Structure 1
Amino acid sequence: MASENSNVRLVGAFAGVGSGLTKVAVGHGFDTIKTRLQCSPPGTYKGAVDCLLQTVRNESIFALYKGATPPAVGWAAIDSVLLGSLHNYRLFLIRHGFTEHTVGSDVKRLTLVGHGIAGLFAGWTSAFLATPIEQLKVKLQLQLQKSTADRQYKGPIDCARQIVRAHGILGLWTGFTGSLAFRSNFLWMFGSFEVLMRAFSKLDGTPYAISIPTANFLSGGLASFVYWIMAIPADNIKNRMMATPHTVSRPSFTATARQILAEGGYRGFYRGLGPTLLRAFPVNASALWVYEGLMRLLGAEKTRH
């Protein structure tokens, strides 16, 4: 029984690897445009389309995948921690009374509040790993030079070395408070995902019924809109903190927020929202479709509710 329980606890982490790799494959180009809009000086780009055109014209189409190496490795690890811990926080909350009866059944499931709390704690847990990986990604994405020889950072390892040389090992966690604020919004992601899944389940037995994988795909995509609308201000602050050159002192969360407000008013906190929303549905729909599908394949879907 102990072995079976251990396996149930590990499958969420394994399924998270598939989710993370899916995000990189589908969404990194959009992420590069978003990061440049958020972190470049005001007036550099007229909008997302102008940013895309300038990037491709000056640096080639492959520039959209600058900084892809850290997330290619890192997002698999980040989503393994995020979704693995999410799975285990759900199990913990079920054991500690955050349950309700499924309508028309004696089967107990995790409450909507429980799903939100699990998402919040999973977001905080993943921030410890996500911060250094995202910092390397941001710094590499913002290098505009076409030739590698002309860039300040020759790659993720060289970038990490320069940061550690300037600020010590803790320098890799520059932007950690921004990352915590940003990743708190997984409360909305997984809470709204569950709301949508339950709404789709009510269509069973009607002409509008859809399969569970389709419901996973649609719920993941739609929930991502809720998530990003709530999270984009903290994402702007986090990325600006991470984009600060390593040659200057590490920025604080409040100082960065004040700088964004001074430069662009409250609209400044929503820079990059356009490409983010374009990216959000396909990336998160695909990622959660992969995650939930692997959970079913590995026999752990019964723990979700």
Structure 2
Amino acid sequence: MGDSDWRPFIYGGLASIVAEFGTFPIDTTKTRLQIQGQKIDPRHVQLRYTGMVDCFVKTSQQEGVKALYCGIWPAVLRQATYGTIKFGTYYSLKKALAKHRADGGSKEHLPTNTFCAAFAGGLSSAIANPTDVLKVRMQVGDEKRNLVRCFVEIQRLEGWRGLWRGVGPTSQRAAVIAAVELPAYDACKKRLTPALGDSPLNHLASSALASLGSAVASTPLDVVRTRLMNQRKVKDHIAKPNERIYKGTVDCFLQTVRNEGFLALYKGFVPTWLRMGPWNIIFFITYEQLKQMY
């Protein structure tokens, strides 16, 4: 990468956007599966879908194929910020810290990589949280306005806090994903290089292996943050006796387990995993090709 520290940021943002376009319909099914069956939210008590395929088919039939891409523009905006900051910060910070180690950065150092990844993931996700809120609400199907109007309406009715709803579990989830995914990818890539070289096949295999662990570790936090982001808390609104909302991350976690069972925390796991695999494959292959081109 030379001394051009801007390149990881640009490559990370571009590769993230490409990967988002390629896997967004899977993310829509994941979001809809995660919000259904909530006992405290009358809008989503009903179990409308039995699984990822059923959700995909019903959404396409009832709302049109276009509905699977509802929320794509806030998602692209999110990746333009989140992806740029996350991957740029990770590789730049990792490189900077490597210079101070005894080996000069010649070997992959798991503790350093994990710290850099978790820091980069949590920071970038917190900054990009408003775009995540817009994306979730559009994917659920309740929000039909365009990106700008949706943003203005949330800010007007719920205040700035509404745009950062769920920022805690969102940042924690991003830190967990990054802490597992990025070091695992770098380790797998280095381990496979003698056999496969620095080739697209190596990038594909490494990214696929890195996806499973991050999906298992992050899905419970993903369910919590999706539910927090989807609930509305209008400013100065006095709650009705039968109206309840989650008070925060812990409350949402406990209420979900109490009302729906522990496995509810893994709602949408299959599309989460199936999305992470292709997303990472598209991302890392694009990222690596950009590195080789420039």
Do they fold alike, i.e. is TM over 0.5? yes
Pairing partner for 2:79 from 75, 78, 90: 75
**Aligned-pair CA distance for 1:214:** 2.0
Indicate the RMSD between aligned Cα atoms, in angstroms: 2.0
- Runs (4 or more) in structure 1 with deviation over 3 Å come to 246-251
Q: Select between 246-255 and 180-189 the one with higher mean Cα deviation.
A: 246-255
Residues 175 and 238, structure 1, Cα contact 8 Å, conserved in 2: yes
Where 2:128 maps in the other structure, the secondary structure is: helix
Identity across the alignment (%) = 24
Q: Distance in 1 between matches of 2:143 and 2:93?
A: 41
2:33 maps to 37
List alignment gaps of at least 5 residues for structure 2: 38-45, 238-244
Contact 2:94 2:112 in 1 (8 A): yes
For residue 53 of structure 1, report the CA deviation from its aligned partner.
1.7
Query: Which residue, out of 21, 25, 30, partners 2:21?
Result: 25
- Please give the secondary structure, in 2, of the residue aligned with 1:9: coil
| Deviation of the 1:246 alpha carbon | 4.0
* Aligned counterparts of 1:228 and 1:78: Cα–Cα separation in 2: 18
- In 1, Cα distance between equivalents of 2:134 and 2:162: 11
Q: Would the alpha carbon gap of residues 173 and 250 (structure 1) be closer, same or farther in structure 2, given more than 3 Å must change?
A: farther
Tell me what 2:139 maps to.
141
- Contact kept in structure 2, 1:244 and 1:251, CA below 8 Å: no
User: Which runs of structure 2 are paired with 1:88-107 in the superposition (5 Å)?
Assistant: 88-97=92-101, 100=103
Query: Which residue is equivalent to 1:188?
Result: 180
Deviations for 1:229-254, whole angstroms, at most 9, x for unmatched residues? Answer: 11111111111110112437774111
Counterpart-to-counterpart distance in 1, 2:17 and 2:171: 22
Structure 2 residue corresponding to 1:218, chosen from 205, 223, 244: 205
* In 2, Cα distance between equivalents of 1:65 and 1:152: 13
Partner of 2:107: 109
Q: Counterpart amino acid of 2:283?
A: A
Q: CA deviation at 1:210?
A: 4.5
Distance in 2 (CA, whole Å) between partners of 1:152 and 1:231 is 26
Contact kept in structure 1, 2:158 and 2:232, CA below 8 Å: no
Post-superposition shift, 1:12? 0.6
CA contact (8 A) 2:108 2:187 kept: no
Residue 216 of structure 2: which of 221, 224, 229 is its match?
Answer: 229
Q: CA deviation at 1:191?
A: 1.5
Amino acid at match of 1:175: G
Q: Which amino acid aligns with 1:52?
A: F
- Return the TM-score normalized by structure 2: 0.87
Kept after mapping to 1: 8 A contact 2:33/2:51 = yes
Q: CA deviation at 1:263?
A: 2.5
